[in-house]
Chains A and B, each alone.
Chain A
Amino acid sequence: GDSVTQMEGPVTLSEEAFLTINCTYTATGYPSLFWYVQYPGEGLQLLLKATKADDKGSNKGFEATYRKETTSFHLEKGSVQVSDSAVYFCALTNAGNNRKLIWGLGTSLAVNP
């Protein structure tokens, strides 16, 4: 079945550092890919998405490119802030599984001033 694998955390960075959180997926066909973020004490929020190969999703300085050849959707940000400290989840939906969200385990990010 479809699955999502993301790098284990926690990731600890200093403010203004470059961030990469790796995400790879296994799915048949052409899934849509998502990054969700969960700030402390809050629910998950959609951060960005991409629905077809080579699409780049972007929001709040974060970017991720849908790479079908490597089945990846890595999250990047050029300069992180303390306020980016959160848990980041990679997920996919696929027509073959009724478009249910399939989730990664989440990666915790802590940014220090």
Chain B
Amino acid sequence: ETGVTQTPRHLVMGMTNKKSLKCEQHLGHNAMYWYKQSAKKPLELMFVYSLEERVENNSVPSRFSPECPNSSHLFLHLHTLQPEDSALYLCASSQDATGFYEQYFGPGTRLTVT
């Protein structure tokens, strides 16, 4: 595997379910990101991790819970979601979180909340 991978690629969940999204980067980067991509809206930065430490949390509801156990893996734990949370969730990584380095994106997880 190369680059940034995300699993699952598609997920349908009910509002009472608990699920997790997984991201893995094979680039040796130290920063990882979660974004939400919704139709007709700009990409929304949700969380930023640098060396496994959360450095940014952009007013994301607590029903989204990130976890970064090491610099190669990032999870987004989901519980009691709302239909408006349906979107494409993108993971990205970069050499560091300063903003000087290019971000590399995974293919995303298409989430549908029913």
Contacts and interface: CB of A to CB of B under 8 A. Distances in A.
A57 interface: no
Nearest to B48: A100
Given A93-B99, A99-B100, A42 B42 contact: no
Task: Determine the main DSSP class of B at the interface with A.
Answer: loop
B90 A101 contact: no
Contacts of B107: 41-43
Tier of interface size on chain B: 10 to 19
Nearest to A91: B43
Nearest to B41: A105
Interface string B90-114: 1010000011101111111000000
A98 interface: yes
A100 B105 contact: no
A103 B43 contact: yes
Given A42-B107, A43-B90, A43-B108, A101 B4 contact: no
